[in-house]
Amino acid sequence: MKVIGIDLGGTNFAVGVVDEQGKILAKEQGKTLVQEGPDAVIKRLNQAVKNVLSNYEVEAIGVGCPGSIDHKLGVVRFSPNFPGWHDFPLAEKLSLETGLKVYVENDANAYALGEHTFGVGKGYDHIVCLTLGTGVGGGVITHGILLRGSSGIGAELGHVTVMPNGPTCGCGAKGCLEAFASATALKRFVQEGYERHKDSLLFHGKKPSEVSPEDIFRCAEQGDEFAKSIISLLTDALAVAIGSFVNIFNPQLVILGGGISNAGEKLLKPVAEKVKDHVLPSMLGTFEIKLSKLGKDAGILGAASIVFERMNKT
């Protein structure tokens, strides 16, 4: 069986034909151009679907989309990345254009399904996934099933509080994990500390706005105190949050993905060590923390996994 996975972001999208082994047989990427309105985006996605289908037949389409998603109806209830898409029937609209059945899921949930189906989570029944990108997304698999909650929008792991009265998150609450462990948060820490740390290696040849997460990890490894303090904030927050998730969900595996996870062992090692201070003694040794290996194709594979999950239920 072959399906289409669509990784739909506010800036870019990617469409791929995926088989049951997780092999991407054809792929196309493009600009979402969300400012042109939902109908224009649907037509752009339809054209990309046609392009990748030139040599393949597929069963259905899965779409991973950020925001609050009604997965049963395939409706985007609200997404900050898609202004004007309030209660937008994405599955229905795309199905009318393509002639194929369409399933829609929150992108972080799709990522969790992708890890469970094709990634380092394959073979595990209890998984917590975190995506550390522009924001922080999360997904939970328990007994091999995606945990969605009563209204389908549960597992917003990026918005667990790790520091009461901490920095204000984009959601409006204070001290969320996302306010510490996202690329947006790291950039904010750099900007806020610039005046006090102008001699930092981070600013050798770069303006504060040009400093990337990769720069922060690199300079921290070189001993830069300001960079090290930022990484400490990041890893402390992750350890607190992961400790809570372990205590609540009792997973076998915690998976870290997204752009920040590209730091590899420089991220994984301190987080794994600090987590020990935040889990119950009885939980120690019951779980692992691993980095995602799906890479840039995680979105497509996650979206494809939506279809495999739904069709296996029918």
Q: What is the 3-state secondary structure (H, E, C) of the chain?
A: CEEEEEEECCCEEEEEEEECCCCEEEEEEEECCHHHCHHHHHHHHHHHHHHHHHHCCCCEEEEEECCEEECCCCEEEECCCCCCCCCECHHHHHHHHHCCEEEEEEHHHHHHHHHHHHCCCCCCCCEEEEEECCCEEEEEEECCEECCCCCCCCCCHHHCECCCCCCECCCCCECECHHHHCHHHHHHHHHHHCCCCCCCHHHCCCCHHHCCHHHHHHHHHCCCHHHHHHHHHHHHHHHHHHHHHHHHHCCCEEEEECHHHHHCHHHHHHHHHHHCCCCCHHHCCCCEEEECCCHHHHHHHHHHHHHHHHHHHC
Domain with CATH 3.30.420.40 in the chain: 2-113+296-313, 124-292
Each of the 314 residues of the chain gets a pLDDT tens digit; together they read: 999 999 999 889 999 999 999 999 999 999 999 999 999 999 999 999 999 998 899 999 999 998 889 999 999 998 877 888 999 999 999 999 999 999 999 999 999 999 999 999 999 999 999 999 888 999 999 999 999 888 777 888 999 999 999 999 988 899 999 999 999 999 999 999 999 999 999 999 999 999 999 999 999 999 999 999 999 999 999 999 999 999 999 999 999 999 999 999 999 999 999 999 999 999 999 999 999 989 889 999 999 999 998 887 64
What's the topology of domain 2-113+296-313?
Nucleotidyltransferase; domain 5 (3.30.420)
What's the topology of domain 124-292?
Nucleotidyltransferase; domain 5 (3.30.420)
